[in-house]
Structure 1
Amino acid sequence: MQETPTTQDGADDLRNALSADFRRVRAFSERLCEPLVTEDYGLQTVVEASPPKWHLAHVSWFYETFLLRPFLAGYRVFHPRFEYLFNSYYEQTGAGFWPRAERGLLSRPTVAEVYDYRHHVDAAMLRLLAECNASDWPRVAMRLQIGLNHEQQHQELLVTDIKRHFAYNPLRPAYIQDLPQSPIADPVPLGWRAFEGGVVSLGLETSGPHEAFGYDNERPRHRAFLEPFALADRPVTNGEYLEFIGDGGYENPALWLSDGWAEVQARGWRCPLYWEQVDGAWQLMTLSGMRPLNPAEPLCHLSYYEAEAFATWAGKRLPTEAEWEHAAEEADITGNFVDDGWLHPRPAPEGEGLKQLFGDVWEWTGSAYLPYPGYRAPAGALGEYNGKFMSNQMVLRGGSCATSLDHIRPTYRNFFYPVERWQFKGFRLAETLR
Structure 2
Amino acid sequence: MTPDPELLRERAASALLAARDRTRLLTTCVEEPDLVAQHSPLMSPLVWDLAHIGNQEEQWLLRTVGGRDALRPNIDSVYDAFEHPRARRPSLPLLAPGEAHGYVAEVRGRVLDILEHAPLHGTPLLDSGFAFGMIAQHEQQHDETMLITHQLRTGPPVLTEEEPPPSSDDVLPAEVLVPGGPFTMGTSTEPWALDNERPAHHRLVPSFLIDTTPVSNGAYQRFIEAGGYEEARWWAPEGWAQVQEHALRAPLFWKRDGGQWLRRRFGVTEPVPPDEPVLHVSWYEADAYARWAGRRLPTESEWEKAARHDPAAGRSRRYPWGDEDPTPAHANLGQRHLRPAPVGSYPDGQSPLGVRQLMGDVWEWTASDFLPYPGFAAFPYREYSEVFFGDEYKVLRGGSFAVAPVACRGTFRNWDLPIRRQIFSGFRTARDADPAAGA
Q: TM-score range by the shorter chain?
A: 0.7 to 0.9
- Give ranges in structure 2 of 5+ residues lacking alignment: 309-316, 435-439
| Residue 414 to residue 134, structure 1, CA distance change in 2 (3 Å) | closer
Aligned partner of residue 367 in structure 2, secondary structure: strand
* Equivalent residue for 2:254, pick from 263, 272, 275: 275
* Equivalent residue for 1:303, pick from 276, 282, 285: 282
* Equivalent residue for 2:342, pick from 347, 350, 354: 347
Task: Report what 2:314 is aligned to.
Answer: none
What is the identity, as a one-letter code, of the residue corresponding to 1:383?
Answer: R
Task: Report what 2:375 is aligned to.
Answer: 374
| Residue 195 to residue 178, structure 1, CA distance change in 2 (3 Å) | closer
Task: Report what 1:35 is aligned to.
Answer: 29
Displacement of 1:107 in angstroms is 7.3
Matches within 5 A, 1:126-141: 126-132=112-118, 139-140=125-126, 141=129
Displacement of 1:51 in angstroms is 1.5
Aligned partner of residue 85 in structure 1, secondary structure: coil
Provide the C-alpha distance between the structure 2 equivalents of 1:29 and 1:280, rounded to a whole number of angstroms.
39
Provide the C-alpha distance between the structure 2 equivalents of 1:267 and 1:131, rounded to a whole number of angstroms.
55
* Equivalent residue for 1:49, pick from 43, 50, 59: 43
Provide the C-alpha distance between the structure 2 equivalents of 1:320 and 1:326, rounded to a whole number of angstroms.
10
Task: Report what 1:12 is aligned to.
Answer: 6
Indicate whether 1:84 and 2:64 are aligned: no
Task: Report what 2:384 is aligned to.
Answer: 385
Provide the C-alpha distance between the structure 1 equivalents of 2:407 and 2:121, rounded to a whole number of angstroms.
28
* Equivalent residue for 1:338, pick from 330, 334, 339: 334
Encode CA deviations 1:242-265: one digit per residue, 9 max, x unaligned. 111111111100111111111111
**Given that residues 71 and 136 in structure 1 are in contact (C-alpha distance below 8 angstroms), is that contact kept between their aligned partners in structure 2?**
no
Aligned partner of residue 323 in structure 1, secondary structure: helix
Moved more, 367-376 or 123-132: 123-132
Task: Report what 1:422 is aligned to.
Answer: 422
* Equivalent residue for 2:96, pick from 110, 116, 120: 110
Provide the C-alpha distance between the structure 2 equivalents of 1:72 and 1:195, rounded to a whole number of angstroms.
47
**Given that residues 19 and 126 in structure 1 are in contact (C-alpha distance below 8 angstroms), is that contact kept between their aligned partners in structure 2?**
yes
Provide the C-alpha distance between the structure 1 equivalents of 2:37 and 2:98, rounded to a whole number of angstroms.
16
Task: Report what 1:92 is aligned to.
Answer: none
Moved more, 50-59 or 363-372: 50-59
What is the identity, as a one-letter code, of the residue corresponding to 1:161?
Answer: T
Matches within 5 A, 1:376-415: 376-378=377-379, 382-391=381-390, 392-415=392-415
Indicate whether 1:147 and 2:135 are aligned: yes
- Percent of aligned pairs with the same amino acid: 34
TM-score by length of 2: 0.86
**Given that residues 282 and 421 in structure 2 are in contact (C-alpha distance below 8 angstroms), is that contact kept between their aligned partners in structure 1?**
yes
Provide the C-alpha distance between the structure 2 equivalents of 1:298 and 1:368, rounded to a whole number of angstroms.
23
* Equivalent residue for 1:203, pick from 175, 186, 195: 186
Displacement of 1:149 in angstroms is 0.9
What is the identity, as a one-letter code, of the residue corresponding to 1:267?
Answer: H
Matches within 5 A, 1:64-75: 64-75=58-69
What is the identity, as a one-letter code, of the residue corresponding to 2:112?
Answer: L
Displacement of 1:407 in angstroms is 2.4
Aligned partner of residue 73 in structure 2, secondary structure: coil
| Residue 122 to residue 430, structure 1, CA distance change in 2 (3 Å) | same
Moved more, 280-289 or 250-259: 280-289
**Given that residues 296 and 429 in structure 2 are in contact (C-alpha distance below 8 angstroms), is that contact kept between their aligned partners in structure 1?**
yes
Aligned partner of residue 139 in structure 1, secondary structure: coil
**Given that residues 335 and 358 in structure 1 are in contact (C-alpha distance below 8 angstroms), is that contact kept between their aligned partners in structure 2?**
yes
What is the identity, as a one-letter code, of the residue corresponding to 1:105?
Answer: S
Aligned partner of residue 250 in structure 1, secondary structure: coil
Displacement of 1:326 in angstroms is 0.8
The aligned length equals: 408
Encode CA deviations 1:210-257: one digit per residue, 9 max, x unaligned. x43201101111111111101110011111111111111111001111
Displacement of 1:387 in angstroms is 1.3
